[in-house]
């Protein structure tokens, strides 16, 4: 049985040390989450897989790590200041607060509302009698724009001249460094710049656990190409994303769906957008967005900064502003998709229940657990653990009976349990148990490293 109930998953992740409530000992901070010893491992493995696939091992791309706080003119030019807001509506009766667009989308999934004015959105809500989901009344305030960027001050004096914003996306840091990167790497178009890091959005309705939070991490690629290039770079990157999902992180292809945005739904800067959506336990939601941004961003920064951001092709002497394809994904959303597809409850032949976290091979926090069956084997087992730690992500587990230890490792997704028992001294073998099948094999200790390397490939 896989997970349909979000609370069960959250409890599991909390109790096993993947994700904790943020600021818990002070009563928590709404919708903030901390990643525990296992959460930080899987998160860092996920990020490094993305980095390897989209940056390090990709023939076209290079990486960047730009600041979270940028000159505020960046946000003026990009259009975020003034335009990066959501439509906020309150229920006058129970004071519940909603994003008007999401309220409509959830109740009328087939309606296209992009481009609607705030007045039109309210009219849709009233005409279609979308009552307050909390109290059931149809008595709303007018809709107003709610600025999503977090504002703060830089320097000792907090006044209008020192206002800065936390970035709501990592992408703009890439656009403003386009020339620096191109000059220093001598890259020729087409090439891409990848970046990962924290972004901040003062979301009106954060929730669904780590799906929508106010502080989150993004992994974004901006891929620059000649607008006259006949190659379909959009399809190329969409395809790469799908290969990454299927082959790198083994996302269940039955659970994700490719949705092309209708023309009316496109953002003002986008020529084409595809969302990859995932069937989360709470319903379908956006996982990864792939967008053709034209030359919108470079043009905006060229105008705003008065710097020449044109690319000169030294072979043809052609001068132009490159077009951009942007695949953009949130680390935590991807994690939630992986967590929810991996949590499985199995009924065993003896009538007992086993929770097994079938995390993808490349993401499980521990690849192996070393388990001495009895105290007498502790020293030998610890020695083996230390040896294997050099090459594998390993944990040493000595508490509880063997059944309990297997269950514990199953629940955190450990791929193989290696048990040292009475016979190990004599036959120089250990028992290796596989997580998903629970099948056991006796393997020579001298062969163990090779055996595991083959299995974990």
* Segment contacting ligand ATP by CB under 6 A, of 69-77, 114-122, 234-242, 324-332: 324-332
What is the end-to-end Cα distance of the chain in Å, rounded? 28
Asked whether 221 and 190 are in contact (CB, 8 A), the reply is no
Q: Contact between 338 and ligand ATP (CB under 6 A)?
A: no
Cβ 43 to ligand ATP shortest distance, Å: 13
**Beta carbon nearer to ligand ATP, 261 or 361:** 261
Comparing CA positions, the residue from 451, 405, 409, 414 lying closest to residue 429 is 451
Q: Does 332 engage in binding with ligand ATP (CB under 6 A)?
A: yes
What are residue 277's phi and psi, to 5 degrees? Answer: -110, 155
| Smallest separation (angstroms) from ligand ATP to the CB of 330 | 3
Question: Least distance in Å: CB of 146 to ligand ATP?
Answer: 13
**CB 326, CB 333: distance < 8 Å:** no
Asked whether the beta carbons of 336 and 280 are under 8 A apart, the reply is yes
For ligand ATP (CB under 6 A), the number of binding residues is 16
- Candidates 219, 224, 232; CA nearest to 185 is 224
Question: Which of these ranges, 108-116, 209-217, 305-313, 442-450, lies near ligand ATP under the rule CB under 6 A?
Answer: 209-217
CA–CA distance, 52 with 35 (Å, rounded to integer): 22
144-147 and 272-280: which strand pairing? unpaired
| Shortest separation between residue 133's beta carbon and ligand ATP, angstroms | 18
212 is a contact residue toward ligand ATP (CB under 6 A): yes
Pseudo-torsion of CA 156, 159, 162, 163, nearest 10°? 130
Shorter beta-carbon distance to ligand ATP: residue 93 or 107: 107
Quick note: the x/- pattern for ligand ATP over 274-313, rule CB under 6 A, is ------------xxxx------------------------
d(C-alpha 305, C-alpha 300), whole Å:
8
Using the rule CB under 6 A, give the single segment among 127-135, 211-219, 342-350, 415-423 that binds ligand ATP: 211-219
Token digits of residue 9: 């998953």
Nearer to ligand ATP, 270 or 378 (CB): 270
Burial of 55 (0-12, 13-18, 19+ CB in 10 A): buried
> Which of the residues 69 through 98 are near ligand ATP (CB under 6 A)?
none
Nearer to ligand ATP, 245 or 371 (CB): 245
C-beta of 212 vs 429, nearer to ligand ATP? 212
Interface residue with ligand ATP among 203, 248, 252, 346 (CB under 6 A) is 203
Among 12, 165, 167, 201, binds ligand ATP (CB under 6 A): 201
- From 154-162, 213-221, 383-391, 440-448, span contacting ligand ATP (CB under 6 A): 213-221
| Alpha-carbon distances of 254 from 250, 258, 363, rounded to whole Å | 11, 11, 20
Closest by Cα among 133, 49, 31, 33 to 91: 133
213 binds ligand ATP (CB under 6 A): yes
Is the Cβ of residue 212 or residue 405 nearer to ligand ATP in the bound state?
212
98 Cβ contact list (under 8 Å, min separation 6): 88, 89, 90, 91, 132, 133, 204, 205
- Phi, psi for 429 (deg, rounded to 5): -120, 160
Question: CA torsion, points 81, 85, 89, 90, in degrees to nearest 10?
Answer: -70
Among 245, 329, 373, 432, binds ligand ATP (CB under 6 A): 329
Cα–Cα distance, 252 to 342 (Å, whole number): 10
User: What x/- string results for residues 142 through 171 when contact with ligand ATP is judged by CB under 6 A?
Assistant: ---------------------------x--
> What string marks each residue from 422 to 451 as x (binds ligand ATP by CB under 6 A) or -?
------------------------------
Is residue 220 within 8 Å of 169, Cβ to Cβ? yes
Considering the rule CB under 6 A, would residue 330 count as an interface residue with ligand ATP?
A: yes
Note whether 41 binds ligand ATP by CB under 6 A.
Answer: no
Q: Which positions from 169 through 198 interact with ligand ATP, judged by CB under 6 A?
A: 169
The alpha carbon dihedral of 401, 417, 363, 410 has a sign of negative
Interaction site with ligand ATP (CB under 6 A): 169, 201, 203, 212-213, 216, 218, 286-289, 328-330, 332-333
């Amino acid at each position: 049985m896989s997970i349909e109930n979000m609370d069960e998953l959250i409890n599991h992740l909390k109790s096993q040390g993947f994700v904790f409530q943020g600021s818990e000992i002070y009563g928590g901070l709404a919708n903030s989450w901390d990643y525990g010893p296992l959460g930080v491992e899987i998160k860092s493995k996920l990020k490094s897989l993305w980095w390897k696939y989209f940056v390090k091992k990709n023939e076209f791309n290079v990486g960047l790590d730009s600041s979270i706080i940028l000159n505020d003119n960046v946000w003026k030019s990009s259009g975020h200041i003034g335009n990066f807001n959501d439509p906020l509506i309150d229920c006058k009766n129970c004071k519940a607060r909603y994003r008007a667009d999401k309220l409509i989308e959830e109740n009328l999934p087939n309606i296209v509302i992009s481009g609607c004015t705030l007045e039109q959105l309210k009219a849709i809500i009233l005409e279609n009698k979308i009552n307050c989901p909390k109290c059931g009344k149809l008595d709303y305030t007018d809709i107003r724009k709610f600025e999503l960027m977090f504002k703060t001050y830089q320097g000792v004096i907090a006044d209008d001249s020192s206002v800065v914003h936390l970035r709501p996306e990592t992408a703009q840091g890439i656009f403003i460094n386009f020339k620096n990167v191109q000059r220093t790497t001598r890259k020729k178009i087409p090439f891409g710049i990848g970046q990962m890091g924290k972004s901040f959005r003062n979301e009106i309705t954060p929730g669904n656990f780590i799906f929508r939070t106010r502080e989150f991490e993004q992994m974004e690629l901006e891929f620059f190409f000649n607008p006259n290039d006949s190659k379909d770079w959009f399809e190329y990157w969409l395809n790469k994303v799908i290969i990454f999902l299927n082959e790198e992180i083994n996302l269940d292809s039955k659970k994700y769906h490719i949705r092309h945005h209708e023309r009316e739904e496109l953002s003002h800067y986008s020529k084409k957008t595809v969302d990859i959506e995932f069937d989360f336990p709470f319903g379908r939601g956006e996982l990864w967005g792939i967008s053709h941004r034209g030359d919108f961003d470079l043009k905006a920064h060229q105008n705003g900064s008065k710097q020449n951001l044109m690319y000169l092709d030294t072979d043809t002497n052609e001068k132009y502003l490159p077009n951009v394809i942007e695949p953009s994904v949130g680390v935590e959303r991807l994690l939630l998709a992986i967590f929810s597809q991996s949590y499985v409850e199995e009924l065993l032949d003896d009538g007992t229940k086993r929770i097994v976290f079938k995390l993808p091979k490349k993401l499980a926090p521990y690849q192996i657990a070393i388990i001495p069956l009895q105290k007498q084997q502790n020293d030998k087992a610890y020695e083996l653990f230390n040896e294997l730690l050099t090459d594998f992500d390993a944990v040493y587990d000595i508490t509880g009976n063997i059944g309990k230890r297997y269950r514990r490792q199953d629940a955190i997704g450990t791929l193989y349990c290696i048990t040292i028992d009475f016979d190990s001294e004599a036959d120089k073998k250990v028992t290796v148990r596989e997580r998903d099948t629970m099948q056991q094999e006796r393997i020579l200790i001298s062969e163990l490293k090779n055996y595991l390397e083959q299995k974990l490939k």
